Amino acid sequence: MSVDLSVRNASAGPQRAADALLRCLGGRAVLLRLPTNAVSGSDAEQLGTGSPSYEDIPLSPAVFRRLRPKLRDGNTNQYELLISAASVHAQLGLMELASTDQLFAMATGIFVDGELMLIEAAAEAEAFGCPYLYRLILAAPRNQTL
């Protein structure tokens, strides 16, 4: 069994190509909603009586589309969001986070067209070990009638 140890330099080429494709497909901006830090040692926060604040982080270009619905009772609509990796990585640097998993785990959802959607899954597409696109599966809130 051989191991491929050849050096492959990561370049911004795939990211630029992905950004161009996202813009061609109607690239838009979405907001990643992040709660601000809770108050340490506060019983009110843990008992659900605190008033959490949040900040919205803009991400673009992104493409948002509805997935084919599964026709089962109780299912909420699911959506797919393709986001530019360059945009996500810029926020990682600003927030001093180690990974995008951490960023998406911290988020309470993605704000799209006035609706807060829950992040159900996140995956990345990469070339030469460098992500160029993030794909998120979003769920619509239960009270949304689409």
Q: Among 38, 90, 123, 125, which residue interacts with other proteins (rule: CB under 8 A)?
A: 38
Burial call 35-59: b when 16+ CB within 10 Å, e when fewer: eeeeeeeeeeeeeeeeeeeeeebeb
Contact in structure between 21 and 13 (CB atoms under 8 Å): no
Binding letters toward other proteins, positions 54-93, x by CB under 8 A: ----------------------------------------
Q: Tell me which residues in 97-126 interact with other proteins (CB under 8 A).
A: 108-109, 118-121
Give the count of beta carbons closer than 10 Å to the beta carbon of residue 15: 20
CB nearer to other proteins: pick between 30 and 122 = 122
Spatial distance between the Cα atoms of 69 and 54, rounded to a whole number of angstroms: 31
In the list 4, 43, 96, 113, the residue contacting other proteins (rule: CB under 8 A) is 43
Cβ partners under 8 Å of residue 102, min gap 6? none
Based on the shown chain and the rule CB under 8 A, indicate whether residue 36 belongs to the binding site for other proteins: yes
| Segment interacting with other proteins, rule: CB under 8 A, options 24-32, 45-53, 59-67, 83-91 | 45-53
| Per rule CB under 8 A, count of chain residues that contact other proteins | 20
Q: How far apart are CA 134 and CA 88, in angstroms?
A: 8
Residues contributing to the site for other proteins (CB under 8 A): 35-40, 43-49, 52, 108-109, 118-121
